Every structure is written in C-alpha cells, then in structure tokens.
Amino acid sequence: MSGEGPSALGGWPVWVRAVVSVGLVFHLAAMVAIALAGRPASTLEAALAEPFAPYAELIHQGHTHRYYAPVPPPTPIVTAEVRDAEGRVVARRRLPDRATRPRLRYQRELALAYHLFADHQLAASAGRRGIWGPSYARHLLARTPGGVSVTLWVQQHLVPDLVRLRGEGPIDPDDEQFYTVPEVVVRYPEEDGPPSEADEDAGSLPPPVPAVRVSPFARPGS
C-alpha cells in the first residue's frame, strides 16, 4: 500500500500521521524544556529552553510550573466601580475575587488582572491609554443594568518579606501596608487621551460594599 493513501484500517495517511507525530514530539519537548527553565534553573536548562521560546510565547505557555517558587511575585488587583446617571455606585468588582468558585474561574480572573495590569503599565510608559481597560469597562456597562460610567483602578498586593516574618512572627498579609497606591486605569466614558497627573495621584479606593456580581467572562446576552 502506498504511503500516500489511507491505511488498511481507514485511518490517516502515513504522511499525516508522521507530521502529527513530529508536532506532538516538538510540543512535548517545548513544554518540558520551558517548565525546567524556571528560576532557579541551571545554564543547561536555560539553554535547552531558548529554542522553544518563540513557540511558547505564541501559544501563551511562556510560564513555568514551579507554583510561584521560590519567591511569589506581587498579585495585581483590579477594582471596578460602576455608577448610574446620578452618580450612585450600582456595582463594584474586584479581580481576582476570593469568593469566586470554582477555583479555575478564580485563576481566569487572576489572569485577567495580570493582563489589565501589564497593559496599563505598558500604556503608561508610552504616555497613552491602555486598550484593555476601556474594553473591560464596556463589558461591565453591558452587564450592569443602569450603569453609565466605570472607573478602573489597579494596584499590587505585595508579599510580606520572609526575613520580617521570621523576626516579627505572624502578621496580617491583608494589612494596608502590603498594598501599593491604587492607580486609575480608566474613567470610562468621560475621558480620553493620556493619563493625567491627577490620575496617578488618585486617592485610596472606596471601601467595599455589597455589590451586584458581574462576571468578567460572561458574554453579552448570555
């Protein structure tokens, strides 16, 4: 039987199976190499992962699986406040929301917070407004009855220093000292253009209140 035709069992042609097999081997090798290259990694592990870096970035797998070891990074926190035509708060949203279940959805919220934070940082360094802040604001307005404006803040939840933990004993990781000053991502739709100094010096966030729950992943009309 020719290698170009279907097999005796009616499966894929030999050349298709060969291509898929090579692709699978390449993918598995990339995932293993990227996972091993997370810090702390040896020079050899880093060198093995280097050829796979463009592919890992393309499929959004450029992260390791060391579960935040040895030192977890700060967690970005995005807070949204939705107001009606009279200026009253009709909904507040926090990303990630600790009450979110299942935990996989919480991870999705965390990924969205990282994405919004990175977009804000990149846009601020370029002196312009971010793209994804207004996009998320439009989504919240579409999902919040009576909402006409949205303000988004972003800040980081810092990790307490381990040396300090050893010296002082138990501390409250949610204490205000472990949060950076909130920065305004966008006030939608009132403003346009680059961030102002007033935005960067915005005061602290309003205290949490019972809010209408808005899913960041629900599709309009669902």
User: CA angle 183-186-189, nearest 5°?
Assistant: 155
pLDDT recorded at residue 206? 46
pLDDT at 170 over 50: yes
pLDDT recorded at residue 8? 52
pLDDT recorded at residue 140? 96
pLDDT recorded at residue 168? 76
- Residue owning tokens 């279907």: 6
Cα distances from 155 to residues 62, 96, 125, 139, 140, in angstroms, run: 24, 12, 16, 21, 19
Q: pLDDT confidence of 66, banded at 50, 70, 90?
A: low
The pLDDT tens digits of the residues spanning 120-140 come to: 999 999 988 889 999 999 999
pLDDT recorded at residue 221? 35
Q: pLDDT confidence of 191, banded at 50, 70, 90?
A: low
**Which residues neighbour 185 within 8 Å (Cβ) at sequence distance 6 or greater?**
78, 116, 120, 130, 133, 152, 153, 154
pLDDT recorded at residue 73? 84
Count of alpha carbons within 13 Å of 113, Cβ hemisphere only? Answer: 24
pTM higher than 0.85 for the full model?
no
**Which residues neighbour 216 within 8 Å (Cβ) at sequence distance 6 or greater?**
93, 95, 108, 109, 112, 136, 139
Average predicted confidence (pLDDT) for the chain:
81
Judging by DSSP bridges, how do beta strands 89-95 and 75-83 pair with one another?
antiparallel
Q: pLDDT confidence of 218, banded at 50, 70, 90?
A: very low
Segment 199-209 shows an average pLDDT of 43
pLDDT at 162 over 90: no
SS3 content of the chain, % helix, strand, coil (to 5): 40, 15, 45
